[in-house]
Structure 1
Amino acid sequence: MEKKYFDSLIQAIDLIGDGIHIIDASGKIVYYNSAAKFLDEIDVDKAIGRHILEVYPSLTFDTSTLLSVMKTGKPIYNIEQNFVNYKGDKISTINSSLPIVYNNKIVGALEISRNITKMRELSEQIVNLQRELYESNNFSNENEIGNEKKRKPNVSFTFLDIIGQSKEMLKLKTLATKAAMSDSPVMVSGSTGTGKELIVQSIHNSSHRKHKPFIAQNCAALPANLLESILFGSVKGSFTGAENKPGLFELANGGTLFLDEINSMPLELQAKLLRVLQDGRIRRVGSSNTIDVDVRIISAINTDLNTVLEEKQLRQDLFYRLNVIALIVPDLSKRKEDIPILVDYFIKKYNKKCNKFFIGVSKKVLDIFLDYSWPGNVRELQHAIESVISLYDGDIIREEHLPFQFKNFHPNKYFTLDTTIIQPLNVAVDKVEREIITSALVQTDYNISKAAKLISIPRQTLQYKIKKLDIPFEQ
């Protein structure tokens, strides 16, 4: 290879985001790219030409992945390695290492390393905090009842915290309440911001497991090796730097383990999870012993069920094991009759938090809210109300107070096509609703409760519609 092409190749490798190390047959470092230098905080000039164990004294001939492939001649992929650099900092990486063979002889080894130090630190902190929180909660809130200890639930949401009187939400709460009486796995699907974890916590808090742990883990953006040790635990020596640590399954024993965004779990780990669900036993990473666990699994996905199967985001056998009870949380755009109730709830919540005195929203703002598509769902509505109350004073939330996404948003407009005025669907719906409500009021002598029951909607919703549709009300 001509030198200019070789130099170009080296420059290209230097731009790769993952660390790349190359050692020769004697174990001496012959190449570091920039990412490796940044990862290990090693001065390249001081490292080149020195034996890898001299530069990484916390490693050994057995624990160094580079030296291992030199010895065996076999590549290894996606192996976690923890080591201490010369500054004393603990580094965690996911390594893929390959022997370099020339004329049927191993002349060196190459390794690609991805830095997961921060990920591992944060994940271990979360596991430790969940353990400490649960243990603290247990021992500070236990009451003796005979020979048993009744412990305070370690999650706060119940079905009373689910705000909504729409047909969709009432049906969801009914199904979720029934699901709480069972130990069967539950899969909750819904878009981001719809309140899936609120449903999940409510199920746990209404179940016979409510005095046992509730442990939550997001499965997205974690390498399979790291997520495996978090879920199942590890034993000392299972990988470099590993200690004896319980996983989330052990912490959740007797209670509920909530696996959020489970469709993001690496496929190779899904098979191990399936085995745990079938056997009721876990095996810590690096251990040959199994541990019995009694854990109810509730999972959540942020897409629809068909997409998960069609795009093979979940193994089919695991999907059917987890999806025994399926609950679908509707988008806010599909239950807009709940918007006035939610607005009132969030105004009261943030009035109290911010010491403000808002009493409601203007008709224009309510019209905007009812016509808006709400891509962020309930969470977006909540943050919009929080933003206004945090920044402004007054008694009514007006259009000029709203966040940027509502600026220049004009509800209830007419659209023209070939000079013909076309009435939007929502205007036509308002007209029909006005006729039905007026008729119901007349038949019940303007008794709100009887009229609401007659047309099968909540009383509060009927009151809102009478005001919104400007229906004359006689008493």
Structure 2
Amino acid sequence: MKKILIVDDDVAVTNYFMVFLMQTEIFETTVINDSRQVEELLEEEYFDVIMLDLDMPNVTGMDILGMMSTKNIDIPVVILTGANDVDLAVKTMKRGAFDYLTKPVDDEHLLEVLNNAIEHGTLHSTISRMPQALSREDLDNTAAFEHFPTQDTAVIRLFHQAEQMAEGDLSVFIWGERGTGKESLARAIHNSSPRVNKPFIAVDSASHSPEEFSSELFGRVRDWSGKSKEMSGFLETASGGTLFIDNIENMSLPVQVRLKRVIQTNEYYRDNSTEIMGCDVRFIVASTHDLTSSKYRESFSRDLLYHLMVNSIRIPSLRDRTDDIPLLAEYFLKEEVERTGRNITGFSDELLELLMQYRYPDNVQELKNIIACAVVNTDGSILNKDSLSPYIRERIIPGEMSGDFTPMKLHDKILDHVTETLEYCGGARKAAARLLSIDIKELNKLLEDIQ
């Protein structure tokens, strides 16, 4: 049985929870109505989860969270709060609480939150006990991470953490600079999870219109006028599997509020409908930004953020693990040789030295693009400095990028980007079109505009 501590000064409330939880035959309950007794009890006894009221005399729920943080008492806490104290409850999640429940509490939802809290506590306890020395071979599912080459000890440890997170169903937040491989890691988590045989759907919210994203995510029913056609959303498409949402900071606030409800209740409704639909999806989200900063206080829901960040992973930048550059370069070269059929066997020492000293603002993805273009531009069996386009050589050799910015019309900016990409690929139009994710006809049309 799981041990639960209920702390609330209202005897009627604690009596109700105690009887209900005992009837489940899952929980062994301990009740405290005088919050001054909590500190001493936690020093003597361990609990799997704590239900904690916020508004209590003498010692408040916030005081108890602070005490637990100071004394490193790592037990998941579920906050009990009134309907008018939701903002304060969200602040407690920033202080380390796992989740909050608004009184009166739905019994079924209570059990789901408590089970999730215990799962979260078990997971973090397992991660904290991991040995310092870990290898790729120690992973239970090495195949899930094989597309993520590394010899960096911090990244290998990250794989082990991700594999542990994969076993549960809680949301995962992946933070990392652009090009670090956030989607690749999300896919590895999915492939290591019990949902591996179900869909993995990847969505970039930055590439969707904010006005349309609601229908694309939740789906839509045909309206009375017939102007809005029925469509399935990503939640339906990903049913039973994993939904990965990249650049989540681009999601509008109304959609954020609805997504938070899905995470909390596993229910949602389509646009133009009030019919409640069930949802069986594991959420993994990602951002290149620190959404806890004050910059996003007004544009991103604190409530949703702390629900998403129950499990979080930060992928280090490539410049923080430069020993991986030769390994990654060889991996991408092998991919390009297999794709193009070119007979290229390796790199010159001079080129490897240049690749090692570059800063890679676009991280692993930029290294992959550099290798792809070098393969297109070489006639020999070894990639060397001359295999790089002049544009790439100018960027790599100084080892720095210009930080100058001049505002311009969007269309002109697009044309500049197309020109730079073509130079990046040494004039190879097929390679440039592939990097731009457009076909040759569209590229040729843009080049006509430039001329």
TM range (shorter): 0.5 to 0.7
Aligned residue for 2:316?
330
* 8 Å CA contact 2:220, 2:233 repeated in 1: yes
What one-letter code is carried by the residue in structure 1 that aligns with 2:200? F
Determine which of 178, 181, 187 is the counterpart of 1:192: 178
Aligned residue for 1:406?
393
Q: Cα 1:308–1:399, aligned 2, differ >3 Å: closer, same or farther?
A: farther
State the Cα distance separating 1:306 from its structure 2 match: 3.9
Separation in 1, partners of 2:396, 2:216: 46
Aligned residue for 2:348?
362
Q: Cα 1:240–1:172, aligned 2, differ >3 Å: closer, same or farther?
A: same
Aligned residue for 1:470?
none
State the Cα distance separating 1:238 from its structure 2 match: 6.1
State the Cα distance separating 1:308 from its structure 2 match: 7.5
Q: Cα 1:339–1:186, aligned 2, differ >3 Å: closer, same or farther?
A: same
Q: Cα 1:383–1:167, aligned 2, differ >3 Å: closer, same or farther?
A: same
Aligned counterparts, 1:46-445, within 5 A: 158-237=144-223, 241-307=227-293, 310=296, 312-403=298-389, 404-407=391-394, 409-410=396-397
* 8 Å CA contact 1:190, 1:304 repeated in 2: no
1:54-100 C-alpha deviation (Å, 9 max, x unpaired)? xxxxxxxxxxxxxxxxxxxxxxxxxxxxxxxxxxxxxxxxxxxxxxx
What one-letter code is carried by the residue in structure 2 that aligns with 1:322? L
Q: Secondary structure at the match of 1:259?
A: strand
* 8 Å CA contact 1:309, 1:316 repeated in 2: no
What one-letter code is carried by the residue in structure 2 that aligns with 1:194? T
**Structure with the higher fraction of residues in helix conformation:** 2
State the Cα distance separating 1:406 from its structure 2 match: 2.4
What one-letter code is carried by the residue in structure 2 that aligns with 1:369? L
1:83-119 C-alpha deviation (Å, 9 max, x unpaired)? xxxxxxxxxxxxxxxxxxxxxxxxxxxxxxxxxxxxx
* 8 Å CA contact 1:188, 1:327 repeated in 2: yes
Q: Cα 1:399–1:314, aligned 2, differ >3 Å: closer, same or farther?
A: same
Q: Can you give the 5+ residue segments of structure 2 that lack an aligned partner in the other structure?
A: 1-142, 400-451
* 8 Å CA contact 2:245, 2:285 repeated in 1: yes
Aligned residue for 2:56?
none
What one-letter code is carried by the residue in structure 2 that aligns with 1:269? V
1:227-283 C-alpha deviation (Å, 9 max, x unpaired)? 111111111116751233221112212111111111110112111111121111111
State the Cα distance separating 1:223 from its structure 2 match: 3.8
Aligned counterparts, 1:11-22, within 5 A: none
* 8 Å CA contact 1:219, 1:227 repeated in 2: yes
Q: Secondary structure at the match of 1:268?
A: helix
1:284-331 C-alpha deviation (Å, 9 max, x unpaired)? 111121011111111011223544865544211100111111111111
Q: Secondary structure at the match of 2:280?
A: coil
Separation in 2, partners of 1:368, 1:309: 37
What one-letter code is carried by the residue in structure 2 that aligns with 1:406? R
Q: Secondary structure at the match of 2:177?
A: coil
Q: Secondary structure at the match of 2:285?
A: strand
**Structure with the higher fraction of residues in strand conformation:** 1
Q: Secondary structure at the match of 1:336?
A: coil
Q: Secondary structure at the match of 1:220?
A: helix
Q: Secondary structure at the match of 1:286?
A: coil
Separation in 1, partners of 2:225, 2:194: 38
State the Cα distance separating 1:168 from its structure 2 match: 2.3
Q: Secondary structure at the match of 1:161?
A: coil
* 8 Å CA contact 1:223, 1:266 repeated in 2: no
Q: Cα 1:360–1:167, aligned 2, differ >3 Å: closer, same or farther?
A: same
* 8 Å CA contact 2:249, 2:291 repeated in 1: no
Which has the larger Rg? 1
What one-letter code is carried by the residue in structure 1 that aligns with 2:152? S
* 8 Å CA contact 2:370, 2:392 repeated in 1: no
* 8 Å CA contact 1:235, 1:286 repeated in 2: yes
Report the identity percentage.
Answer: 34
Q: Cα 1:310–1:288, aligned 2, differ >3 Å: closer, same or farther?
A: closer
- What's the TM-score, normalizing by structure 2? 0.54
Q: Secondary structure at the match of 1:298?
A: strand
* 8 Å CA contact 2:325, 2:355 repeated in 1: yes
What one-letter code is carried by the residue in structure 1 that aligns with 2:276? T
* 8 Å CA contact 1:364, 1:398 repeated in 2: yes
What one-letter code is carried by the residue in structure 1 that aligns with 2:179? G
* 8 Å CA contact 1:158, 1:198 repeated in 2: no
Separation in 2, partners of 1:176, 1:238: 46
* 8 Å CA contact 2:351, 2:385 repeated in 1: yes
* 8 Å CA contact 2:221, 2:270 repeated in 1: yes
State the Cα distance separating 1:160 from its structure 2 match: 1.3
Q: How many residues align?
A: 257
Aligned residue for 1:111?
none
* 8 Å CA contact 2:354, 2:397 repeated in 1: yes
Separation in 2, partners of 1:161, 1:262: 24
* 8 Å CA contact 1:308, 1:314 repeated in 2: no
State the Cα distance separating 1:358 from its structure 2 match: 2.0
Separation in 1, partners of 2:222, 2:395: 60
Separation in 1, partners of 2:294, 2:264: 21
State the Cα distance separating 1:183 from its structure 2 match: 0.6
Q: Can you give the 5+ residue segments of structure 1 that lack an aligned partner in the other structure?
A: 1-156, 413-475
